[in-house]
Amino acid sequence: MAEYYDPATYPNEWNYLQPGTIIDQYVIERELAHGGFSSVYLARQREDQIQVAIKEYLPRKLAHRTWNNKVVANDEESLRLFQCGRNLFLEEAKVLANLKHPSIVEVVSFFSANSTVYIVMTYDYGIGLDKMIKQKKMKVTLDFLLTVFNALLDGVEKIHQHHFVHLDIKPANILIRPGYNPLLLDFGAVQAFPEVAQKQRSKVVSKGFSPVEQCHGKTQLIGPWTDLYAVGASIRSCMEAKAPVSSVERLKKDTLTPAVKAFKRKFPETFLKAIDWAMAIEPERRPQSVQELKQAFQLLTEA
């Protein structure tokens, strides 16, 4: 652990790996994104120059980078949480390494360096669904929604088949590639089910997209239906260009107008009923598997 750390004088450039930094067999080109627990960089392999995305574990509230790029806990109190998070980050890498699907970000490798952990992923070109919605880069049609979310559900089903739940499905974590081909990103919240009650993990909640059992930390109620709520909420956010009312607020007083009423002149009733079904407040009232929700969409495509 560093002998001295003062956030007020900490160099801002140390928050990220600088362009040209060599780590393992890769050269960092630039930062792509960052969050509270990690940063993602565009990098290239030194041998063949192939571009990759590298995700680095660096929880800003718990740790910092030193002059020689080592990531260390801020203090003794933060050390245990930092180490626990690092182990979970490594677990994320192992989960992703076994999930091979066209709609799931592919892990090339993972390694430890600089006292932290790195996940190397394929680099895909596209635009985040959240940005597409905000910037109104496309017309939200039924064909667009079915193309994106049927393909996404195939990937989500693969996750569930391995007895994991993603727990952070939202437009910001869906990359849209050419041909409206979706890619599900950020598996930092992934958990096993039904064993999740035994896991001591930090709670990840995305307002408007996380259902009540996730917001209230009721891990014994978490399952595939938890991800399906987030899928329904993501579809709805595309339709009205904003996140839906949070599930916690809906539990107190449900002010969310059902999709069958809000969009009855814009989309088929069968499709809207499927969205409302996925977004039911009570877990037991939602589709219990991806297959059930896909069948609801299939009825629409066959009509």
With residue 33 as reference, give the H or E element that holds it: strand 26-34
Reduce the DSSP state of residue 253 to 3 states and report it.
coil
Closest C-alpha to 111, from 80, 81, 89? 89
Q: One-letter amino acid identity for 155? A: G
pLDDT tens track for 67-125? 899 999 999 999 999 999 999 888 888 888 888 999 999 999 999 999 999 999 999 99
CATH 3.30.200.20 fits 12-122, yes or no: yes
- List C-alpha distances in Å: 133 to 26, 86, 129, 171: 34, 33, 6, 8
**Where, residue-wise, is CATH 1.10.510.10 in the chain?**
127-302
- CB-based contact 95:121 (threshold 8 Å): no
pLDDT tens track for 55-74? 999 998 999 999 899 999 99
Strands 38-45 and 116-122: unpaired
- List C-alpha distances in Å: 129 to 45, 100, 241: 28, 22, 11
**pLDDT class of 291 with cuts at 50, 70, 90:** very high
Q: Phi/psi of residue 104, each to 5°?
A: -120, 135
What gap in Å lies between CA 98 and CA 92, rounded to an integer?
Answer: 10
CATH 1.10.510.10 fits 127-302, yes or no: yes
pLDDT tens track for 187-201? 888 888 876 444 445
**Where, residue-wise, is CATH 3.30.200.20 in the chain?**
12-122
